[in-house]
Amino acid sequence: MRERPDGKRSANGKTYDPERLFLPPDDDLAPNRPGETLRARLDGSAAARASGRARLVLARLLGRRPVEDAWRRALAAEQCVGAALEGLAGSGWDVVHSIVLPGDAIISHLLIGPGGVFGISSRPGRRARIRAGESQVCTDRERRPGPYVRETRHDAARASLVLSRGCGFLVQVQPVLVFVGARSVETAPELDDVRVLGEEEVPGLGALAGVLHPDRARRIHTVARNRRVWLWA
């Protein structure tokens, strides 16, 4: 069922949202690039980067996995998925990247458009065979399962509460988990509330429709891009 329209109308009959006009630039998340938070972690002063390089070399010689390596893989995954989502912009979709929640959780991408609202988490697949269960993900490259399904579901629920409160109507955020560069992705039959995709399937989200009226989608995007609304997520 399509949502009813929201927003105010100008003299020419077009809808607009006055909150967007007064959003301070420092609080506007719309300009965020994919992986914005990870970029910030990897950036820093020249001295820090110089000392970091020496530390990375030493850690690799000792057979350890520096956290910066994981950040770079995660950044590459977010950039890949982000580019695919940006390609949907011409067909009525908006996307906000790298939304930081209290506690350092990050929603990699929030996709808003005719097919609804999707909270998307991007993960590096690392040429692994992936099997997503009801709460965890098992791969043939890791000894222990990862809590990625549970985390993606939880972050989407938090986003739904934030957006519903900010918009004044119920906003359902559908959780999506995307693995970039995986050899294969398999979803257990009991997992029916989280979409688990390979990166090549991301553009298919743009074919979804019939859920949000354009006015409501614009309203949700206005609220979602406001950094301050996420401070109480």
> Distance between CA 6 and CA 221 in Å, rounded?
12
Q: If pLDDT is split at 50, 70 and 90, which confidence band does 22 have?
A: confident
As a dihedral over the C-alpha atoms of residue 9, residue 10, residue 16, residue 19, rounded to 10 degrees, the angle is -100
Q: How far apart are CA 142 and CA 14, in angstroms?
A: 53
The closest alpha carbon to 118, from 191, 177, 33, belongs to 177
Q: How many CB atoms sit inside 10 A of residue 79's CB?
A: 18
Q: What is the pLDDT of residues 67-92, one digit of tens each?
A: 788 889 999 999 999 999 999 988 89
Of residues 103 and 4, more confidence is placed in 103
> Given a cut of 60, is residue 7 above it in pLDDT?
no
Quote the pLDDT of residue 147: 95
pTM: 0.84
Q: Which tokens go with 136?
A: 């965890």
Greater pLDDT, 29 or 143: 29
Q: Mean of the per-residue pLDDT values for the chain?
A: 87
Alpha helices in 87-213 (DSSP H): 148-167
pLDDT of residue 54: 64
What contacts 204, CB < 8 A, 6 or more positions away? none
Per-position b or e across 191-218, b if 16+ CB within 10 A of its CB: beebbbbbbeebeebbeeeebbbbbbbb
- Note whether 167 and 221 are within 8 A (CB): no
| Residues 200-222 pLDDT 10s | 999 999 999 999 999 999 999 99
Please report, for residues 82, 214, 216, the alpha-carbon distance to residue 6 in angstroms, rounded to integers and kept in the order given: 28, 9, 5
pLDDT of residue 57: 65
- Confirm if 178 and 81 have CB atoms less than 8 A apart: yes
Question: 33-56 pLDDT, tens per residue?
Answer: 999 988 888 876 334 455 556 666
CA dihedral 60, 65, 71, 72 (to 10 degrees): 40
